[in-house]
Amino acid sequence: MLSKIRLLYVDDEKGYQASFRRTMRTEKALLIETASDGVDALAKLEIFPADILITDVKMPKMDGLALLEEVRIRYPDVFVVIVTGYGTIEDAVNAMKAGAYDYILKPFDFDAIRMVIEKIIAHERILKKGMSFAKDRRNSHRFENFIGQDPSMFQVFQQIVDVAPSNATVLLTGETGTGKELAAEAIHFESLRRDGPMIRVNCAAFTETLINSELFGHEKGAFTGATAQTKGQFEFANGGTIFLDEIGDIPLTTQISLLRVLESKTFQRVGGTRAIKVDIRVVCATNKDLSEKIKEHLFRADLFYRVAVVSIHIPPLRERKSDIPLLASYFTEKYHTETKTKITGISGAAMRMLTEYNWPGNVRELANVIERAVIFCKGREIIPANLREDIKKASQEKVFDLRLSSRSLLLGESTLIRRVLEEENWNLKQTAKELEIARGTLYSKMKKYGIEKPQ
């Protein structure tokens, strides 16, 4: 964020707008703008690029939940905070599920508002601190690629920044594709060892007979085919960090040797007798439940306690869906730059399909889907036709949820029209057909509700 934080407050009650401006104007770090409903807010965002948007839920034309959905799609880097009354906590729960950063209860407790704003600023500060090593352009994987605005990711970033300067062994847990290797790289490049080597070893890629040699090296004649002395990855990592991915797949015999390295910083090459001392930082990762492997006597308990001095869990993408628009936009920019296409973004309908999908392959799968979509996109925006068939099918099977904050017929009709227009990429003929109304009727209703195609 810039030195001045741009905040847009949205509320249809003029009294609350005035009260908000009057009380918060003492906060010198804030630039405050107000809007009277969701439609007005979207118009304001085009000329006032807010860092934080605080919105009431119950408003005419477009309510707070519908506004949240639009902002998550159009402006994924904006932090959205929902305001709700004591009797509508369900709205707050729905908002958090839909990607709100936090919620505030009415009537206002301005101290609570300040705390939320301070938390968001701290979130941004942690990200910037984590990106400090990005000045070294030699590094292809940087903390800036480890994207997340969801509060659960803020906790991950905070843990990374806190543990990085130490020499503590770190265990990263999480499903495949969540970004454990990026987290390991962030720990290394934020540490005092950033100028040393970062060695990566996929422990699942080696057989039981080869992994000791891969990790610790071997002496000439140690086994058939050992025609020369060979260094292992621990020696190559001296002065830096070694990242042991899929540590749960290491055989028990190798676990004993690994425990010795962690405790004494010494090891022997396969077939050797000389103790070799190294100065290394060990970061491990697994997608398995090591406590279950301990019960099955497949993983040593003493090794577990040694590698898990600090444990950081990377949540799956389905548990932080508010990050999907942010990630999808990042990957779109990345791949359209690489392929030199003229794609400007992702359509609202396509983005909704991406946010509704459960992503069993996590961030890695999302990156692959966007790369494929960029290749097949013929226009300026990625549209549903460019997405994988299973993603489109999963979206079609979902219940059509308008997320209305009231039983207002006018609100329901305007929200339905806007949703179908976006899903049909603002094709008026097809939208009228889907709504089962004449095109002239669609025109008049769009005018009535102030619905216009975004520029």
188 and 323 housed in the same domain: no
Q: How many domains does the chain have?
A: 4
225 and 268 housed in the same domain: yes
**Residue 441 belongs to some domain of the structure:** yes
CATH value at residue 431 = 1.10.10
- The per-residue pLDDT for 284 is 97
Please check whether residue 58 is in contact with residue 64, taking contact to mean a CB–CB distance below 8 angstroms.
yes
CATH value at residue 30 = 3.40.50.2300
**Residue 133 belongs to some domain of the structure:** no
**Residue 240 belongs to some domain of the structure:** yes
Look at residue 319 and give its three-state secondary structure: helix
d(CA 418, CA 381): 19
33 and 106 housed in the same domain: yes
> 285, 313, 341 — which closes off a domain?
313
> 313, 342, 357 — which closes off a domain?
313
**Residue 213 belongs to some domain of the structure:** yes
d(CA 453, CA 441): 17
259 burial level (CB within 10 Å; 0-12, 13-18, 19+): middle
- The per-residue pLDDT for 124 is 75
309 and 324 housed in the same domain: no
Please check whether residue 123 is in contact with residue 115, taking contact to mean a CB–CB distance below 8 angstroms.
no
42: Cα separation from own chain's centroid: 24
**Residue 137 belongs to some domain of the structure:** no
232 and 305 housed in the same domain: yes
> 282, 313, 344 — which closes off a domain?
313
- The per-residue pLDDT for 139 is 41
**Residue 44 belongs to some domain of the structure:** yes
309 and 322 housed in the same domain: no
Domain of 67, in residue numbers: 5-128
**Residue 76 belongs to some domain of the structure:** yes
d(CA 340, CA 342): 7
330 and 292 housed in the same domain: no
d(CA 78, CA 190): 26
C-alpha atoms less than 13 angstroms from C-alpha of 265 in its C-beta half-sphere? 14
For the chain, give the number of residues: 455
178 and 303 housed in the same domain: yes
- The per-residue pLDDT for 183 is 92
304 and 385 housed in the same domain: no
308 and 327 housed in the same domain: no
CATH value at residue 299 = 3.40.50.300
Tokens 């609350």 — which residue? Answer: 16
Please check whether residue 216 is in contact with residue 254, taking contact to mean a CB–CB distance below 8 angstroms.
no
- The per-residue pLDDT for 428 is 86
Angle at CA of residue 250, ends 245 and 252, nearest 5°: 155
- The per-residue pLDDT for 137 is 33
In the chain (455 residues long), the average pLDDT of successive 10-residue segments reads 80 90 86 92 93 90 86 88 72 74 83 89 70 40 61 87 93 94 91 93 89 89 79 93 95 92 90 89 95 94 94 92 89 89 87 90 94 92 91 71 67 84 80 83 86 77
- The per-residue pLDDT for 136 is 43
183 and 301 housed in the same domain: yes
**Residue 140 belongs to some domain of the structure:** no
255 and 341 housed in the same domain: no
d(CA 262, CA 280): 9
